[in-house]
Structure 1
């Protein structure tokens, strides 16, 4: 993923991944993605985290940005080759 997105992403700097967050369509817009993501991220204890999102998922992009993630690198084809992914990273916060 780091090489396909053309990003220098060293595994020791980003040991955690925020995996896919899916909210049922009828429940979207209620802050559930942000709440679930925050709860999952608490276990990282200030270490770097990366996430991926479909390039057309603007709601998740907004959620990730609110949680301190930044878009990293270029979009790249997903393994099913019908959609593209965007890498997001949240740098370590602990000193």
Structure 2
């Protein structure tokens, strides 16, 4: 069964799914800056738009665009800045 998630007063929405790759979400972010926490390792692939990311241990933002993937370790907090609407696929491992 699909599960719909909504964060930041509806500015970030995702649909959770389970498939042969594992647990994942497919979502969209409105323009803005957000902070998330992880409980597993996350591999996030941008499918549309540009997302700036600040992961723990880094001192500068890194931009990711369509087709690019970044990794976030488990049990950390990380920041993102959506430059316009951004769509993504996030795989939890």
Structure number with larger C-alpha Rg: 1
The structure carrying a bigger strand percent of its residues is 2
The TM-score, its normalising length taken from structure 1, stands at 0.35
Instruction: Name whichever structure is richer in helix by fraction.
Output: 1
Q: TM-score, normalised by structure 2?
A: 0.35
